Amino acid sequence: MSRIAVKPTLQPELFVYSFPVRVYFENTDAGGVVYHGEYFKFLERARTEWLRAKGYDQHELAQRHGVVFVVRSISLEFLRPARIDEELGATVTLAAIDAATIEVVQRIERGGECLLTAEVKLACVKIAAFQPARIPRELRDVIVG
């Protein structure tokens, strides 16, 4: 199965999933600025809810298909700080998909201003051995749309 690069040209906003995030005290350092490691949590929540919005949750994938998605690689670029009590949006945009991997581009935004960009490669693995596995066909079809 070949790699499908997804490059929406008409109404690209329809291909973006956005998940709201509130910054709490626990997410910040002593100065009230979001600690860099917390962004990984925000991004993970958005990816999890993106899959849930597609009709799949992590538990179902594990129980029904015997697979889970793991982060194979992630690259972040920090552009601006987020602060305590701010409302942010964590977005997910499908960039590419092949037989066993999904690539997404993610952003953390505040009122339309981009604070962070991330390129994430997810690998589908069998739970039993953590070996690469094909993405279940029905899920792949839903993701590609």
Active-site positions read 29
Cβ atoms 95, 17 nearer than 8 A: no
Give the integer Cα–Cα distance in Å for 117 and 106: 6
E-only strand ranges, the chain: 4-5, 16-22, 67-78, 87-97, 101-110, 113-126
Which two structure tokens, joined as six digits, stand for 59? Answer: 């538990």
